[in-house]
Structure 1
Amino acid sequence: MSAHRPFGLPAAVSAAVLLLAVAGCSSTGAAASVEVPSPPVEEAAFCQALAKELPDTVAGLERSDPEPGSELTAGWGDGAIVLRCGVPRPEKMSDPKAQGVSVNGVRWMLESTDGGPRLTTVYRKTYVEVGLDERYAHDIGPLADLAAPVARTVPCGLDPECG
């Protein structure tokens, strides 16, 4: 997708993201299992506020939170989309060649994993990570449903253009 931009570009450069229709996905019936982050108290408070704002559906997939249950994690589509709030700063953010996208005013760093893309917010007072399974290898559309709650609840950090 041409929306990938190095973070070294001026902050005014942001990617336009086309929302792609996601085909219906069947549920496997098994809850995903994820590691629950352990952020500092101030960051955990942002995550608790985010937890209250998260939508019931993302990209047409119903909410199905991973195990163990926590206000710091959420999921949709039985592990197709998994959010973790308060994760540590990814090492990849130090890479000047790291790729990023901007979705509805929220900036994300993109990492490819064997299971699908992983995106982590940048320039916010805590890091929010969204893992997408392989069906989203070329579709970051689910971020459109998550950007507004993140923008409302996780304040901007160092970026003056963070909205």
Structure 2
Amino acid sequence: MKEDDLEKWWSLIYNDEHPEWKKWDAPYYPLRHIEYEKFRDQMSNLIHQGYDRKYLIKVDNEIIGMVTYYWEHESSQWLEFGIVIYLPEFWNGGYGTDALIVWIQHLFDTFPIPRIGFTTWSGNARMLTVGKKLGMVEEARIRKCRLYNGKYYDSIKMGLLREEWEARDQG
């Protein structure tokens, strides 16, 4: 992430009042708009501090998405990741899978974590599919806890152990 990317990245997130990507990325949480200047200042400060928790996904130097990680519980090395592809024309083209292969390898190379995972909802079939493609397994399902558009969905945790990730290339 570079300061030159911030305006384009902000516009992908906030230019549309109801962006298509948000219908899949935890839509039960509202997208809280922030002004560009505040976004720029916050992200510039983080960049200067060496912030490494978000990386932009680019195709032909165009930002199409973002990967991130966060600590669910850092002292026990419980790390989770996330991804969003903002532009629908890049959905179902393997871009998310490719980005996550690089991201997961980076996270395993960077941290002494025994597992990595993500949480999604049962309405996001693409995220569940990419998790399976990456060798992840469903570790938890909290049933009917996400209310969206008048319908209840499950919250789903998927995970992958380091040894499972390393063994995938051996087969």
Q: Give the TM-score taking structure 1 as reference length.
A: 0.26
More helix by share: 2
User: Which protein shows a greater Rg?
Assistant: 2
More strand by share: 2
Point out which structure has higher relative CO (alpha carbons under 8 A, 6+ apart): 1
Q: Give the TM-score taking structure 2 as reference length.
A: 0.25
